[in-house]
Amino acid sequence: QVQLVESGGGVVQPGRSLRLSCAASGFTFTSYGMHWVRQAPGKGLEWVAVIWHDGSNKHYADSVKGRFTISRDNSKNTLYLQMNSLRAEDTAVYYCAREGGAVADYYFDYWGQGTPLTVSS
Amino acid sequence: EIVMTQSPATLSVSPGERATLSCRASQSVSSHLAWYLQKPGQAPRLLIYGASTRATGIPARFSGSGSGTEFTLTISSLQSEDFAVYYCQQYNSWPTFGQGTKVEVK
């Protein structure tokens, strides 16, 4: 069965960096675009970034553009999110999610359990 | 950015009753609309995509309708496991979500 397992969250000071990982299994990772979606405490969902199945295209929400970098290692079935210059407003649970549809049909059919990030001094 | 607005914010329904949730887009998203259910402490779960297509394993009591800017999720007979927060999401452009509708026990 499809499994997405995030890791790497924690507590970090403003301005610092952190890298999240998402280990995928149970499907052909190289066939799917992958996304990061976040949810601030008590708030709704915010799309963060997408990377195409082959890593050839990446796109970001304006709120993280220039600070976050999405990447993937298809040999390891793993998705990453490198987060630099972290701010308090980046505090959230970060979910990795599999793209559900055809290329650029950006809805999400499987989600990981999420990894929490707190940015605080 | 396409803004998604859900109503009502909270819906109080008795088990077995019908629930109707609304989602409005600030501009047309065609049929590029998905619905998710989220329970406390859990990840969202896909219910509907393409405005009206049920995802794998989703019971027939869930149905979606609409196109353009107005969408509806209907739960025909609420079961105990359906009390949760529901989000709509457009994917006609970069994804954006509604703020959620909480379905609670009346």
Residue B19 confidence (pLDDT): 97
**pLDDT tens, A21-40?**
999 999 999 999 999 999 99
**Do the chains contact at B46 and A100, CB–CB below 8 Å?**
yes
- d(CA A45, nearest CA chain B) in Å: 6
Residue A105: band (very low, low, confident or very high) from pLDDT cuts 50, 70, 90: confident
What is the per-residue pLDDT for A35? 97
Strands A115-119 and A10-12: parallel
- The tokens describing B67, both together, are 């196109």
Nearest to B26 by CA among B4, B48, B6: B4
Q: How crowded is residue B43: how many other Cβ atoms within 10 Å of its Cβ?
A: 21
Strands A115-119 and A78-83: unpaired
Q: Report the run of H or E that residue B71 belongs to, with start and end.
A: strand B70-75
Q: Give the residues of chain B that fall short of pLDDT 70.
A: none
The answer to whether residue A103 scores a pLDDT higher than 80 is: no
At A101, the pLDDT band (50, 70, 90 cuts) reads: confident
Question: Is B98 in CB contact (< 8 Å) with chain A?
Answer: yes
